[in-house]
Structure 1
Amino acid sequence: MRLIVWTLLASLFLFGGCDYMGTIERMDREQRAAERSAERTPAPTPPADGFVRDGADEAASVAGDAIADGDAAQPRITILENGMTVLTQADGRFPLASIRLYVRAGSGWEEEREAGISHFLEHMAFKGTDRRAPGQVAGEIEGAGGSMNAGTSFDYTVYYVDVPKDAWRLGIDILHDMTVNPSLDPDEFESERQVVVSEIEMGEDTPGRRQFKALQEMVWPETSYGRPIIGFRETLAEMTPEDMRAYLRRLYQPRSMLLVAVGDIDHAEVLQKTRTLFGPLRNQGPLTRPVELPLPLFSGPVVRVEHGNWNKAYLSLAFPVSGLKRQEAVGLELLAQLLGGGQSARLPRKFRYEQQMVDQVSAFSMTLERGGMFVIQAVCDADKAETFVRALAEEMAGLSPHDFGPDEMARAKLQLEDALYRSKETLSGLAGKLGYFTFFEDGQVSEDNYLFSLRTADAETLGGVMDEYLRSDRLASVLLLPEGTELSGDALAEGVREIWASPAETAARHETGARGEVEVVELDGGVSVVLMPDATLPYAAMDIVWPGGGVLEPQGAEGLAAFTSNYLGKGAGGRTTTQLQDYLADRAASVGASARRDAFSVSARYPARFAAEVLPIVRDMILDPAFSGDELGRVRQEQLAAIKQREDQPLGLAFRRIFPFLFEGPGYGTHHLGIPESVSAFQPDDAKAFFERQRSAPFVLSACGVFEREAVLELARDLAARTGPRRSVEIAPPVWKDERQATAHLPGRNQTHLVKIFPAPGLNSPDAPALALLKEALAGQSGILFRELRDRQGLGYSVTAMLWQTPDSGFLAFYIGTDPDKAEQALAGFEETVESLSREPLPVAEVERAQNLMRGDYWRDRQTLGSRSGEAAGLKARGLPLDFNETLLDKAGKATPEDVAAVASRILRLDKAYLFTVTP
């Protein structure tokens, strides 16, 4: 559905605002989750937005049967006297509330001279209000144990907070204050202007964002959609606080706002609070209804080639399509799913698996209010780029809606429908999809119409959108190539024109329940089973975790654990890769393996009704993996491609190389994905030998959701009996190296990235609670590093702290992405922060903020079934109790400023610190 696409785009290249900062800020939390979870295999992106209907049709009733009483309430909508809309849904599954404020004010509403003002305003909303000083907005939310962020798109800006249930009033108050009363202080305005410029530079260093910016200009020329959401350096340089106030008066009107509140809340109380705060607002002038852009706005095919310091070739093809309220939107989404919505889809099957022409290929349909794009993306080796472009043109030229068989159609429909319902797992996801459908479509009826259109879609539906939109004369394409690659955009466009039939010829061709108690069952040989019933949704998650992973790799075989985990998914139990992918896709299920530096896992996610068909796949993957010689080349190619793609991104390069820089020995001191020489030498027998050793280790199997207890236990017993005898795995603590500085170069980029690393004790240390608090105090939008280096000094867009730990060791790291000329000043800022922490303990309010943020993070991190299943398996496999995180949280809640100061003085030693730098 549409909101699946929004989730993908937000992570790749679409949204402006603080979302990317949020991504960086969450890295450490995800690392903590990684220590608890086995989930490391690529999977379809779960939707963060969408709409949960009231259960009138069959699929909704299936989900509704298992929903707990606390989740049974329906959305309630109220329109205030001034036109503002308030939507609430009570959901008592978690002691949390998720609140979003949508404003119909995005880059699509800007005048040309204002380009970027929507996104800039979103930044300034965090920089102080008439009642709150800079940093206080985020400080109060994080101090209450919540998190907040915002994002700017073409058609809207959204501000959102996720808070403990007792803090929902604060959340609404904050959203009101920052959007109605931003102070727009001139000094803060100038400082944040530089931060936005830094964000522009960061985007230019990322292949996906560069491509999308170019596609905007080509697909929507001379329109507001054709300008980047983040704006231009030139327009930002001319912008003034008074310009922003005028923009606020014009677009931030109550009838252009929607407030959504979901969670453990009361409708009447939320409505009263919202009316008190927002009710006095008055509309300042008329609003213009959005007018759909005419098609086409250009004549294709057009291919733009850009050369740069890339390891890979990155290709994006886009076709302009209609806006989101047109009936064709469902057909476009179904076609995108059929072509590139997963590994079983048409394009990955042909070009990645069968022909090994690309590393990745996908498709999606993005629909906005006034128009949209149908996009196909691919990554490949530069010497295969021209061949792939021509082959893809041939594929599209010969494509008929009748090529998709009943099984393919049913699978794609199930996957889209499944994604719609899975978004209900988290309160934030539910709030997002409720808000989006209410703000831009027709509320609850939109999902009814969507599901009806999806279920009744057929070849005629596909043929209609293919004829209307997927035409060679409406193709715009951007190709990023490594320097020295001799390919011409004009020549590629002419090649496509020769291959792809005219629209007339194409048209002619188309004619022919509530959670139960946790149970732990101990089996022989150190095997454990953790059972966590949860009937909220009719789904299940299963994780099997063995200690080992990278630490089991033989000398000179770094990357073998990751190689083996990928190989496991390439056929099992007599099924080939494609047969396995089809089988799982037909059941909206995923089963995959992943490897960490100290663990190896197999994970499954599936609708509960398909358990009897999915569990045998898990069994086969572990007991009867194919390790086929036919798949060897593909597995090698995928891993080599992943290495190159990591090294095309500054942060990817940094975190790929930091561990070998810091540590000695296998696992911790190696490149997790290996190096090209080792990966190119791996053979099937290497993977077989590694997995034979790995699966004989003691393991933990965890299941969360709706499952049959005996079926899960039977699987665990079978695996234990057939992979023994058990051989224990000794995981030694990481051994630190003596060299304390290293630099990696990434030519052609804009920014320098600095990671200052302080060795720290592990999870088993009595210092762990206070250390976690120290990290929280340093990180976050109201954290010490952010306030000092970004807010006060304007040194960079991304500034945070990260904590990585094993049971016995770990590190605390400071991170910033900054202008090369400001690198020394940023390092000095790091040192000043350390010195200030050594002078005196943190204020009580700072420690309380960190404690509250830890509590909020804990609940947010474990809302999904998969997160809870992975947490349990990961903890127990590492010898930690299942309540380890809760106990850590409790101890952190009792820590004092003096406890944090003592830990800071022991850990933040500049003479013991390491520095890793990525320079342009």
Structure 2
Amino acid sequence: MPGEAKKSDYIVDKVVEKKLANGLTVLFYPYEREDVVTVKLCVKVGSAYENEKQAGITHLIEHMIFKGTESKKPEDIVGEIEALGGYMNAFTSFDYTCYYTTGPTKILEKSLDILSDIVFHPYFDPKELEREKEVVVEEMKMRLDNPHVVLFEEVMKASYQKYPYRRPIIGYEETVRSLKREDLLSFINQFYTPENMVLSVVGKVPQDELLSLINKFFTNLPKRKLKKVKFPEEPFTEKPKLVWVERPVKEGYFVFTLPGVSFREEDAPLLDLLVQALGGGESSRLYVRLKRELNLVKTISISAFSPVGPGLIEIYGTADQEKFKDIVSHLITELEEIKNLGVTEEELKKAKVQLISDFVFDAETSDGLSNTLSFFQLKRGNYRDILWYKNKIEQATVEDLKEVAKKYFNFDKLVGGFLSEKRLFDEEDFKKLISVKKDSPVKFFTLENKLKVIVYPRKDLPTVGITLAFPGGLRFETPQTNGLFQALTLLWTRGTQKYSAEEISSKLEALGATIKGFSGRNTFGLKALSLSSNFDETLKLFKEILLTPTFKEEECEKARPELISMIFMQEDSPISLAVNQFLKILFSDHPYGLNIAGDLIFYQNFKAEDLRQAYQNFVTPEKAVLTVVGDVDPLILKQKLESYLKDWKASKVRVKEEEEPKLPSQKTQKIKKETFQNQILLGFQTPGLNSKEKLVLEILSSALSGQDGRLFRVLRDERSLAYSVTSFTVFYPKKSAFVFYIGCSPEKEEAAIAGFWEILEEVSKKGLTLEEIERAKNRLLGKLKIGLQSNLAKSEDIAVNEVLNLGWDYSQNYENMLQYIKQEDIQKFIKTYLKKENAVLFILGK
């Protein structure tokens, strides 16, 4: 195993654990990378602790916790954290509920104050409760528009016979609507007790200060008696089960489950290893056999769902609906082969590298570390079991995995779920199919071929992030070539003059590394993540992929269904479909209005030569920026790059940039679609990303969106019109877009649109308050800091900003630039660009 992976021992040894007299467990990790902190308060109660009549109460409480306490109003909760540049949220799982904040370290005291107050002194205002029930019902309807979610919930119901994991965490409309304030308070009193909680803090904060604050806010708490819950034994199904959901979709969706393990069982790490070997990457057994060799699936993944209670093995993906039968039989064949022959030594080695390197990569961010520590403390009862898990992985043998496969691949207990336009076979057919046996100064240099290189050494963790970015992407496409860059970047890594696609995947996974193409609206390129111990080998492979891709015709044919699947899944997602159609109207007859997912006709007809030509035209060093962030020596790296890239020459082709888009002629469009919610978008063309107005637009959007923004407070909290309502921006060099979005029931459509205009007109007349502007700036800065913790994220940020002429240090200077934006700048922006006559309204739904 790579020596750097041993750092997980070091991580565990640095944790400070403390148990308060009231039973509260506190975990503290002194994180030193950035001036950030993550505070997570988790309660060991999830939806599994509910009875049938209470279904959804845990999730509803999670929502209502933010709606005020005995001493705080709703705006004093999330708004206070966002005002300091932090982020606050929560989630409910089957086994536990977590409330957390993350952001600059200055949020620490406020975070502890608020988390303690909302969990131990919630008010649950009856009027707020009725409004929030409506929001949760809207969330349910939103989930009903997602084929993946619908199918998974049906399969979970079939996979568990008695255990409460069979119920959806969100509950049911009738049970949620029936819940009263007294029910919520009773549930809180039964489970929200200190001894039933874990408080984890990962951040750059003094230990003495932290413990003093914890004593201040978590000592004098209400007296509550913890309720003990007895869970049923889960027998699972005794015979194969078939679940079929019929829906008017273009893509086919499948899910298979087998009984798995609880994370408390000794087999849990071994089962993780087994599923990693089977489906963890593009050289894994299932991916190679079912996708690349047999072309039966478009996507396929396998994971171990290992909760506190009985778990599952889950296999899922997408495919052409007529291939469902073949998928079942070939999948069973592959699993049976693993039972009889096991995995290879090479497969085991790759799986070990991938799983153990996850600990190192997660340690890059405070949130990642907090998740890991909380996960083990909640599920195993001790964060130090990280070492138990790592040791089990390191010591596992091929024979161990073979025994695990025999133990858990019991096809008599298989549940198969499918979602398609119509049912293609029955349960008897199904049974027949399965009847088989810290930072240094930034360094810059330019190579002879004019490639600009930026190196940002960070030596605290043994990881390296690499990004090579070029101008390109959607803005350089036409209606006839829409999807070109998606295809180019997908196929870029699938074969070189020296290695086949499978050999590349195999080498990368053995190294615990990734190299992927990326394509967006304004740029495209390659990015890689590597352990520093394997960086040299990863860099050689990166060079090979960059300089000698083959773009073979047979690889194009294999990738074609994968590309087309993006469009189908977009069309199956009302939100994605609506955003795409809206931008098409806003930027009509212009590349900015093209579909980011590509065009079906292009995907059906493009040739390998199209990709080779695009590669020759756009993959040119004088236009590119290469950024390397992490545990590297800049001098040694420079020498290697000069050697590796000396033969990479500039392209002689000069590609013309896009014209400035015109204002749209069509102002309103409605498209009928059978959905549970209508998707409503109202937006405007605004100046481009290189304009001085960019920051003004970002502040405006930040102020209106978020849980303390006007859109959320007015349209969701006060009027209960939707679960999801926000504003967002789409940036291009010549023009950008500012958009309001809401997903709501059809009968709420007029009220939602009127609400958008009401808020916009009020802001236009009175402007944003100074407090709103300050909160918006802090939110933007907090989001930026949180997003740039990992080496790969920082490398991509630097490279893309430099390519787009924003400057490599744009994010570094962001805070200072924001301070120059004043209240009058925002009001002027609204009156200049957000005029009613320039608005575009789009509605998708009934």
Same fold (TM over 0.5): yes
Q: Percent identity?
A: 27
Whether the aligned pair in 1 keeps the contact of 2:40 and 2:100 (CA below 8 Å) is yes
Whether the aligned pair in 1 keeps the contact of 2:449 and 2:648 (CA below 8 Å) is no
Q: For the residues of structure 1 that align with 2:334 and 2:206, how far apart are their CA atoms?
A: 54
Q: Are residues 1:500 and 2:436 paired?
A: yes
Q: Mean alpha-carbon deviation: is it higher for 237-246 or for 767-776?
A: 767-776
Whether the aligned pair in 1 keeps the contact of 2:586 and 2:685 (CA below 8 Å) is no
Amino acid at match of 2:424: L
Match of 1:209 among 149, 174, 177: 149
Amino acid at match of 2:375: Y
Q: Which residue of 1 aligns with 2:164?
A: 224
Amino acid at match of 2:81: I
Q: Are residues 1:635 and 2:575 paired?
A: no
Q: Which residue of 2 aligns with 1:571?
A: 495
Match of 1:96 among 25, 36, 58: 36
Write out aligned runs for 1:365-444 (5 A). Answer: 365-400=304-339, 402-444=341-383
Q: For the residues of structure 2 that align with 1:734 and 1:791, how far apart are their CA atoms?
A: 39
Q: CA deviation at 1:711?
A: 4.9
Match of 1:465 among 382, 401, 404: 404
Q: For the residues of structure 1 that align with 2:45 and 2:235, how far apart are their CA atoms?
A: 25
Q: CA deviation at 1:310?
A: 1.2
Q: For the residues of structure 2 that align with 1:915 and 1:871, how far apart are their CA atoms?
A: 32
Q: Are residues 1:549 and 2:473 paired?
A: yes
Q: For the residues of structure 1 that align with 2:457 and 2:669, how far apart are their CA atoms?
A: 48
CA distances 1:744-766 after superposition (whole Å, capped 9, x unpaired): 4442x211111211221123322
CA distances 1:815-836 after superposition (whole Å, capped 9, x unpaired): 1111111011100110001111
CA distances 1:310-356 after superposition (whole Å, capped 9, x unpaired): 11111101112231111111121111111112111111111111111
Q: For the residues of structure 2 that align with 1:623 and 1:850, how far apart are their CA atoms?
A: 44
Amino acid at match of 2:800: G
Q: Secondary structure at the match of 1:802?
A: strand
Q: For the residues of structure 2 that align with 1:691 and 1:59, how far apart are their CA atoms?
A: 38
Q: CA deviation at 1:301?
A: 0.6
Q: CA deviation at 1:146?
A: 0.5
Q: Are residues 1:559 and 2:499 paired?
A: no
Write out aligned runs for 1:527-676 (5 A). Answer: 527-553=451-477, 556-664=480-588, 667-676=591-600
Whether the aligned pair in 2 keeps the contact of 1:597 and 1:667 (CA below 8 Å) is no
Whether the aligned pair in 2 keeps the contact of 1:314 and 1:481 (CA below 8 Å) is yes
Q: CA deviation at 1:603?
A: 1.0
Residues 599/655 of structure 1: CA separation in 2 closer, same or farther (3 Å cut) = same
Write out aligned runs for 1:846-857 (5 A). Answer: 846-857=772-783
Q: Which residue of 1 aligns with 2:23?
A: 83
Q: CA deviation at 1:723?
A: 2.9
Q: For the residues of structure 1 that align with 2:5 and 2:306, how far apart are their CA atoms?
A: 28
Q: Are residues 1:326 and 2:265 paired?
A: yes
Q: Secondary structure at the match of 1:425?
A: coil
Amino acid at match of 2:554: D
Q: Secondary structure at the match of 2:384?
A: helix
Q: Secondary structure at the match of 2:95?
A: coil
Q: For the residues of structure 2 that align with 1:196 and 1:486, how far apart are their CA atoms?
A: 31
Whether the aligned pair in 2 keeps the contact of 1:551 and 1:667 (CA below 8 Å) is yes
Q: CA deviation at 1:175?
A: 0.7
Whether the aligned pair in 2 keeps the contact of 1:72 and 1:91 (CA below 8 Å) is no
Q: For the residues of structure 2 that align with 1:816 and 1:132, how far apart are their CA atoms?
A: 28
Q: Which residue of 2 aligns with 1:700?
A: 625
Q: CA deviation at 1:538?
A: 0.7
Q: CA deviation at 1:59?
A: 4.2
CA distances 1:602-633 after superposition (whole Å, capped 9, x unpaired): 11111111122111211121211121122121
Q: For the residues of structure 2 that align with 1:274 and 1:318, how far apart are their CA atoms?
A: 43
Q: For the residues of structure 2 that align with 1:401 and 1:867, how far apart are their CA atoms?
A: 42
Q: For the residues of structure 1 that align with 2:245 and 2:383, how far apart are their CA atoms?
A: 44
CA distances 1:34-87 after superposition (whole Å, capped 9, x unpaired): xxxxxxxxxxxxxxxxxxxxxxx974675489x9xxx99811111111101111
TM-score computed with the length of structure 1 as normaliser: 0.88
| 5+ residue gaps, structure 2 | none
Match of 1:742 among 669, 672, 682: 669
Q: Secondary structure at the match of 1:324?
A: coil
Q: For the residues of structure 2 that align with 1:131 and 1:536, how far apart are their CA atoms?
A: 43
Q: Are residues 1:149 and 2:89 paired?
A: yes
Match of 1:713 among 638, 646, 649: 638
Q: Which residue of 2 aligns with 1:16?
A: none
Residues 525/323 of structure 1: CA separation in 2 closer, same or farther (3 Å cut) = closer
Q: CA deviation at 1:283?
A: 4.5
CA distances 1:366-386 after superposition (whole Å, capped 9, x unpaired): 111111111010210111112
Match of 1:338 among 277, 281, 286: 277
Q: Mean alpha-carbon deviation: is it higher for 733-742 or for 334-343?
A: 733-742
Residues 751/850 of structure 1: CA separation in 2 closer, same or farther (3 Å cut) = same
Q: CA deviation at 1:549?
A: 2.6
Whether the aligned pair in 2 keeps the contact of 1:558 and 1:666 (CA below 8 Å) is no
Whether the aligned pair in 2 keeps the contact of 1:668 and 1:734 (CA below 8 Å) is no
Whether the aligned pair in 1 keeps the contact of 2:163 and 2:233 (CA below 8 Å) is no
Q: CA deviation at 1:129?
A: 1.5
Match of 2:726 among 783, 800, 813: 800
Match of 2:183 among 243, 258, 271: 243
Amino acid at match of 1:783: G
Amino acid at match of 1:182: P
Q: Secondary structure at the match of 2:623?
A: coil
Q: Which residue of 1 aligns with 2:132?
A: 192
Q: Are residues 1:490 and 2:427 paired?
A: yes
Whether the aligned pair in 2 keeps the contact of 1:116 and 1:236 (CA below 8 Å) is yes
How many residue pairs match? The answer is 843
Q: For the residues of structure 1 that align with 2:245 and 2:12, how far apart are their CA atoms?
A: 52
Q: For the residues of structure 2 that align with 1:551 and 1:794, how far apart are their CA atoms?
A: 38
Amino acid at match of 1:608: S
Residues 170/543 of structure 1: CA separation in 2 closer, same or farther (3 Å cut) = same
Amino acid at match of 2:669: A
CA distances 1:475-499 after superposition (whole Å, capped 9, x unpaired): 11211012xx3413313422234x3
Q: For the residues of structure 2 that align with 1:555 and 1:311, how far apart are their CA atoms?
A: 22
Write out aligned runs for 1:248-287 (5 A). Answer: 248-287=188-227
Q: Which residue of 2 aligns with 1:475?
A: 414
CA distances 1:279-304 after superposition (whole Å, capped 9, x unpaired): 1225522442665x535332221011
Whether the aligned pair in 2 keeps the contact of 1:525 and 1:698 (CA below 8 Å) is no
Residues 58/809 of structure 1: CA separation in 2 closer, same or farther (3 Å cut) = closer
Q: For the residues of structure 2 that align with 1:733 and 1:535, how far apart are their CA atoms?
A: 44
Residues 456/704 of structure 1: CA separation in 2 closer, same or farther (3 Å cut) = same
Q: Secondary structure at the match of 1:804?
A: strand
Q: For the residues of structure 2 that align with 1:742 and 1:351, how far apart are their CA atoms?
A: 42
Q: CA deviation at 1:551?
A: 3.7
Q: Are residues 1:908 and 2:834 paired?
A: yes
Q: Mean alpha-carbon deviation: is it higher for 198-207 or for 146-155?
A: 198-207
Match of 1:757 among 657, 661, 683: 683
TM-score computed with the length of structure 2 as normaliser: 0.96
Whether the aligned pair in 1 keeps the contact of 2:62 and 2:91 (CA below 8 Å) is yes
Residues 682/807 of structure 1: CA separation in 2 closer, same or farther (3 Å cut) = closer
| 5+ residue gaps, structure 1 | 1-56, 502-513
Q: Mean alpha-carbon deviation: is it higher for 174-183 or for 407-416?
A: 174-183
Q: Secondary structure at the match of 2:592?
A: coil
Q: For the residues of structure 2 that align with 1:840 and 1:336, how far apart are their CA atoms?
A: 57
Whether the aligned pair in 2 keeps the contact of 1:545 and 1:699 (CA below 8 Å) is yes
Q: Mean alpha-carbon deviation: is it higher for 829-838 or for 565-574?
A: 565-574
Residues 194/295 of structure 1: CA separation in 2 closer, same or farther (3 Å cut) = closer
Asked which structure has the greater RCO (Cα within 8 Å, sep 6+), the reply is: 1
Q: CA deviation at 1:225?
A: 1.6
Whether the aligned pair in 1 keeps the contact of 2:67 and 2:74 (CA below 8 Å) is yes
Amino acid at match of 1:595: S
